[in-house]
A and B are shown apart, each in its own frame.
Chain A
Amino acid sequence: GESVGLHLPTLSVQEGDNSIINCAYSNSASDYFIWYKQESGKGPQFIIDIRSNMDKRQGQRVTVLLNKTVKHLSLQIAATQPGDSAVYFCAERTGFQKLVFGTGTRLLVSP
């Protein structure tokens, strides 16, 4: 929510469109990645994860793609709905008990 920051990158989409949210990670040795969704005034909510030995993983309406060559992670949301409006951020595991979180992207879905 507003605690995450007022100047986050923002992605605005129309309801029904597909959304793609990107994340660049920093550590080539990271072995595990997670996407979180955070609604205003709430705690981050786990969406989907992927291990570094995979390049794609699908969930319900969401797909995560991992490109280790360029250290890039993306979250694709199919048929975006107003309820998907939130801040989305990625996290990478850089070591034991070490999750490094991105600052997030705000997704705005218009009806």
Chain B
Amino acid sequence: DAGITQSPRHKVTETGTPVTLRCHQTENHRYMYWYRQDPGHGLRLIHYSYGVKDTDKGEVSDGYSVSRSKTEDFLLTLESATSSQTSVYFCAITREGSTGELFFGEGSRLTVL
């Protein structure tokens, strides 16, 4: 258990609406990540953060933004959701001093109608 909580766990929304997913961690980890998981694809990195206010893009960042105003929270925002963003979203952390393995939250299932 990496002390990661994602919210909401399930959300259904309509095309064009904004959506924010929250990742909360309790262990003060510096690195946090947002991935999406879709059938036929491995987990794909959307954005990651290496500290408060320090973020960078991953391979599938188009249509997403992130914010990290405090260590424990990493927010993923879809400014205007599209059906192609229907997915399961996972937050992850790496532990300092580790080899780099990711520890994941339980996921947030988003459906965009």
Task: Assess whether A32 is in contact with B99, with CB atoms less than 8 Å apart.
Answer: yes
Chain A residues whose CB sits within 8 angstroms of the CB of B34 once the complex forms: none
B41 A103 Cβ-Cβ under 8 A: yes
Contact A43:B90 (CB < 8 A) given known A34-B101, A93-B100: yes
Of all chain A residues, the one with the shortest Cβ separation from B33 is: A97
Q: Are A101 and B106 in contact, with the CB atoms below 8 A?
A: no
For chain A, which range describes its interface: under 10, 10 to 19, 20 to 34, or 35 or more residues?
A: 20 to 34
Interface size classification for chain B: 20 to 34
Q: State how many angstroms separate the Cβ of A7 from the closest Cβ of chain B.
A: 8
With A and B bound together, what is the CA distance between A7 and B43 in angstroms?
16
Residue contacts A-B, CB under 8 angstroms, 17 given: A3-B37, A3-B39, A3-B109, A4-B39, A7-B39, A7-B40, A34-B102, A41-B106, A41-B107, A42-B107, A46-B103, A91-B42, A91-B102, A97-B45, A99-B43, A101-B42, A103-B42
In the A-B complex, list the 6 residue pairs whose CB atoms are closest, starting with the nearest. Answer: A101-B42, A43-B104, A5-B39, A101-B43, A3-B88, A44-B104
